[in-house]
Amino acid sequence: MMEHPEYSQRQWAEETGMSLGKVNQCIKHWEEEGYLEKQEGKGEKRNLTEKGKAFLQEHKVDAALILAAGFGSRFVPLTYECPKGLLEVFGERMIERQIKQLHEVGVKDITIVVGYLKEKFDYLVDAYGVKLLYNPEYSTKNTIGTLYHARKAVEGKNFYILSSDNWMRENMYHSIEPLSWYAASYMAGETKEWVLDCGKDGQIKRVEVGGEDAYCMYGPVFLKKEFFSALRPFIEEYYHRPGTEDFYWEDVLRLELKHLPPIYRNEQKDGQIYEFENLEELRLFDEKYNDHSGSEAMELISSVFRIPERDIVKLRCLKAGMTNKSFLFSIHEESENKDYAGKDFICRIPGVGTGKLINRREEEEIYSIVKDLEITEELLYFNPENGYKISRYYEEARNADFSKQEERRACMKLLLKLHEGKKEVNHAFSLGEKIQYYEDICLEGGGEIPYQDYGKIKEGMKRMLQYTEGTNPPLCLCHIDAVQDNFIFTKEGVKMIDWEYAGMADPLLDIAMGAIYSYMDFEEAKQFLKDYLQVAKAEGKEKPLILSRRTEADLEKLLIAYMGLSGLLWSLWCAYKMRKGQEFGEYSLKMLRYFKDAKKILGI
């Protein structure tokens, strides 16, 4: 009545779903209690008294928390370029629509929790006066981490919890909220959404994941300050428990519901709340996305295959590599381009800062040189200017598992074919040159190398390089990135993918790289080498190139040095990438440890 004093009792009955008689009864009771008074000469119209205003003040909405930290993997490739909440629906960004709706009811204390592409949200501070709160764990913890990091921002407040990528048709927010609630939409038939089991008064009694013909958690949430004060200790407890990294904050709500104050189901009509799961759902709602998604990758695919964007379907995110981002897509079965209709492909998008790390023209040359060996994936498009690549997706393909000897040897057979293939290119992969280059780009612009003892490390590196270069190793075309994930088992045999670092080098370097990528210790790496030599012998190569001018014992010592130098190289690679905002967890430390351990073993 504070928001709509002009409403008649009949309008209130329609708005609340209550009977006209019940509305009349409530208004009469509030008048008797001194919360309402009739407007003179206004018929049904009532005004709030000072007592009524004071009562409502206790239920005033103080703030809103908008969750916007996540990547949005089901919305690739759009989310590679733009956070999901900043995507437009009918020309308006989803997060801006919600901010405007909050402002309409007087909610101005708005905190947006950001993480992925956080800088993209900064303009909202100036445009709408919101606050940004960075969640440093956005890529490793689910929304339990988000609420944990935001807990102090909403403590002691009545507040909304909103998802940046929700779209509400009508403004469902209010300046006054008497009860804690979770928005609920009815899902007919079987659903994987979180189903609410409620009492007659709408109080949520139990939450189950999945069900049928039921009201489900769907959209905004409102929590009274008393509710959050009770919830917060549970959030903190579960946050610190091992194994809860994938928890939504609603998991805590679900598990501890009996120990929390009442929270109610807020039923919403069909078509009020939209949570777009992927681009194809958004296309059904906003036709602009059928042919003009605004994504560079989508425009490229459309051009390469000579099809409209609407024919690009079943978009799925592949696990992002350390260098690039990749996604799967299909060409619609009814596409006019019959050569590709119904087939699956992979599009690779170069990662941040890769322009300084990788020469794409050299990579293109590699694919051309090794094509007749039939050891790579089938390439449909390669752009040496920006590194975009489209290749065939092999159905039922899987990555190699180096822990299985038969798979490891199958991969070594492919590596041997490359090494013995007598293919040459004009560029080499020199450990010394690469280490110096990565050091230089780490230091440029006043940057620094994050290892306190780097001066000592560098002296050891120079001595180790003198040893390796003094062995006068044989050279051949090497893959350099022989990690198990770059060997794929297909119905057509084993293939090697991702040739970004390939160049002329000692074939033993591929063994060393494969070992450290798999976190093998030095003894395991020696067995890895033995597998390679045994495969060579089985293939009739009694004296493979790798044994040129040296014995197996020589190789084992040199292998340790290569593992150490390669570890140092990739730790510097990580240092540079971390300057660009990427994190690699323990990977950089493990790589550096290879160098230090190798130095001890070799006595260098």
**Of 300, 222, 314, 229, whose CA–CA distance to 263 is shortest?**
222
| Furthest-apart CA atoms within the chain: distance in Å | 109
Our CA dihedral for 585, 590, 593, 597, rounded to 10 degrees, sits at 170
Q: Taking the CA atoms of the chain, what radius of gyration do you get in angstroms?
A: 31
**Of 321, 276, 318, 325, whose CA–CA distance to 296 is shortest?**
325
Residue 136 and residue 78 share a domain: yes
The H-assigned helical ranges of 129-224 are 143-154
Average pLDDT over every residue of 342-352: 88
Confidence of residue 69 (pLDDT cuts 50, 70, 90): very high
Q: What is the pLDDT of residues 437-468, one digit of tens each?
A: 999 988 887 788 888 898 999 999 999 999 99
Total number of domains constituting the chain: 4
CATH at 238: 3.90.550.10
Residue 301 and residue 444 share a domain: no
CB-based contact 144:247 (threshold 8 Å): yes
Calculate what percentage of the chain has a pLDDT beyond 90: 76
User: What is the predicted pLDDT for the residue at 1?
Assistant: 61
Average pLDDT over every residue of 222-228: 96
Task: DSSP for 508-539, please give it.
Answer: HHHHHHHHHHTT--HHHHHHHHHHHHHHHHHT
Is 227 a residue whose pLDDT tops 80?
Answer: yes
- What Å distances lie between residue 275 and 75, 171, 217, 558, CA to CA? 12, 16, 11, 56
Indicate the pairing of strand 63-68 with strand 110-114. Answer: parallel
CATH at 490: 3.90.1200.10
User: What is the predicted pLDDT for the residue at 341?
Assistant: 95
Residue 352 lies in domain: 292-382
Average pLDDT over every residue of 316-320: 76
Confidence of residue 41 (pLDDT cuts 50, 70, 90): low
- What Å distances lie between residue 446 and 355, 443, 452, 457, 572, CA to CA? 20, 6, 16, 20, 16
Residue 193 and residue 145 share a domain: yes
Q: Has residue 94 been placed in a domain?
A: yes
- Structure-model confidence comparison of residues 43 and 259, the more confident one: 259
User: What is the predicted pLDDT for the residue at 42?
Assistant: 55
User: What is the predicted pLDDT for the residue at 275?
Assistant: 92
User: What is the predicted pLDDT for the residue at 43?
Assistant: 59
**Of 225, 231, 63, whose CA–CA distance to 160 is shortest?**
63
- Structure-model confidence comparison of residues 39 and 543, the more confident one: 543
Residue 562 and residue 544 share a domain: yes
User: What is the predicted pLDDT for the residue at 303?
Assistant: 95
Average pLDDT over every residue of 308-333: 85
Is 579 a residue whose pLDDT tops 90?
Answer: no
**Of 169, 176, 259, 272, whose CA–CA distance to 215 is shortest?**
272
Average pLDDT over every residue of 478-498: 93
* Average pLDDT in the chain: 91
Is 323 a residue whose pLDDT tops 60?
Answer: no
Confidence of residue 64 (pLDDT cuts 50, 70, 90): very high
State which of 275, 300, 322 marks the end of a domain.
275
One-letter amino acid at 273 equals I
One-letter amino acid at 122 equals D
Q: Has residue 392 been placed in a domain?
A: no
Residues with Cβ within 8 Å of residue 215, at least 6 apart in sequence:
184, 185, 186, 187, 195, 196, 198, 265, 267
Residue 327 and residue 235 share a domain: no
Neighbours of 258 (CB within 10 A): 7
Q: What is the pLDDT of residues 78-104, one digit of tens each?
A: 999 899 999 999 999 999 999 999 999
- Structure-model confidence comparison of residues 587 and 354, the more confident one: 587
- Structure-model confidence comparison of residues 531 and 5, the more confident one: 531
- What Å distances lie between residue 15 and 7, 160, 451, CA to CA? 10, 21, 64
Is 24 a residue whose pLDDT tops 60?
Answer: yes
In the block, tokens 């050299």 appear at 362
User: What is the predicted pLDDT for the residue at 358?
Assistant: 84
Residue 208 and residue 93 share a domain: yes
Indicate the pairing of strand 159-163 with strand 63-68. Answer: parallel
In the block, tokens 């996604």 appear at 327
Q: Has residue 308 been placed in a domain?
A: yes
Is 172 a residue whose pLDDT tops 90?
Answer: yes
**Of 279, 245, 274, 247, whose CA–CA distance to 80 is shortest?**
279
Residue 335 and residue 202 share a domain: no
- Structure-model confidence comparison of residues 5 and 378, the more confident one: 378
Q: Has residue 437 been placed in a domain?
A: yes
Q: Has residue 522 been placed in a domain?
A: yes
Residue 69 and residue 47 share a domain: no
Q: What is the pLDDT of residues 113-157, one digit of tens each?
A: 999 999 999 999 999 999 999 999 998 899 999 999 999 999 999
- What Å distances lie between residue 550 and 276, 436, 473, 526, CA to CA? 61, 28, 9, 16
Confidence of residue 9 (pLDDT cuts 50, 70, 90): confident
Is 2 a residue whose pLDDT tops 90?
Answer: no
User: What is the predicted pLDDT for the residue at 319?
Assistant: 65
Is 352 a residue whose pLDDT tops 70?
Answer: no
Average pLDDT over every residue of 392-405: 91
State which of 275, 305, 322 marks the end of a domain.
275
Determine the Cα–Cα distance for residues 182 and 162; give it in Å rounded to an integer: 11
Q: Has residue 283 been placed in a domain?
A: no
Average pLDDT over every residue of 422-427: 94
Q: Has residue 312 been placed in a domain?
A: yes
**Of 213, 102, 95, whose CA–CA distance to 164 is shortest?**
95
Residue 348 and residue 248 share a domain: no
Residue 241 and residue 154 share a domain: yes
In the block, tokens 């990977």 appear at 587
User: What is the predicted pLDDT for the residue at 306?
Assistant: 96
In this structure, what token pair is assigned to residue 540?
Answer: 């009739």
Q: What is the pLDDT of residues 248-295, one digit of tens each?
A: 999 999 999 999 999 999 999 999 999 998 999 999 999 999 999 999
Residue 319 and residue 174 share a domain: no
Q: Has residue 280 been placed in a domain?
A: no
Is 581 a residue whose pLDDT tops 80?
Answer: no
User: What is the predicted pLDDT for the residue at 55?
Assistant: 77
User: What is the predicted pLDDT for the residue at 357?
Assistant: 74
CATH at 335: 3.30.200
In this structure, what token pair is assigned to residue 89?
Answer: 């629906």
Is 170 a residue whose pLDDT tops 90?
Answer: yes
Find the range with the poorest average confidence among 100-104, 244-248, 352-356, 436-440: 352-356
**Of 522, 524, 529, 475, whose CA–CA distance to 502 is shortest?**
475
Residue 314 and residue 171 share a domain: no
State which of 382, 416, 437 marks the end of a domain.
382
Neighbours of 362 (CB within 10 A): 18
Average pLDDT over every residue of 1-13: 71
Determine the Cα–Cα distance for residues 482 and 411; give it in Å rounded to an integer: 9
